[in-house]
Amino acid sequence: MSITYDYKGRSVVITGGAKGIGLAAAKRFHSSGANVSLWDMDEGRLNEVKDNFSGKIDTQVVDVTKWDSVNAAAENSFKSIGGADILVNSAGIAGPNFKTWEYPIEEWMKVVDIDLNGTFLCCRALVPFMRENKYGRIVNIASIAGKEGNPNAAPYSAAKAGVIGLTKSLGKELADMNITVNCITPAAVRTEIFDQISQEHIDFMLSKIPIGRFGTVDEIANLITWLSSEECSFSTGGVFDISGGRATY
Q: What is the CATH number of the domain that holds 230?
A: 3.40.50.720
User: Is position 156 annotated as part of the catalytic site?
Assistant: yes
Assigned domain for 1 exists: no
Range(s) of the domain holding residue 21: 11-242
pLDDT at 244: 86
Assigned domain for 61 exists: yes
Name the catalytic one among 7, 135, 156, 249. 156
Nearest to 34 by CA among 220, 225, 163, 191: 225
Q: What is the pLDDT of residues 205-230, one digit of tens each?
A: 888 889 888 889 999 999 999 999 99
3-state secondary structure 143-192: CCHHHHCCCCCHHHHHHHHHHHHHHHHHHHHCCCCCEEEEEEEECCECCH
Assigned domain for 98 exists: yes
What total number of domains does the chain contain?
1
Flag whether pLDDT at 61 surpasses 60. Answer: yes
d(C-alpha 94, C-alpha 47), whole Å: 24
CA torsion sign, 224 to 64 to 62 to 8?
Answer: positive
Average pLDDT (220-248) is 93
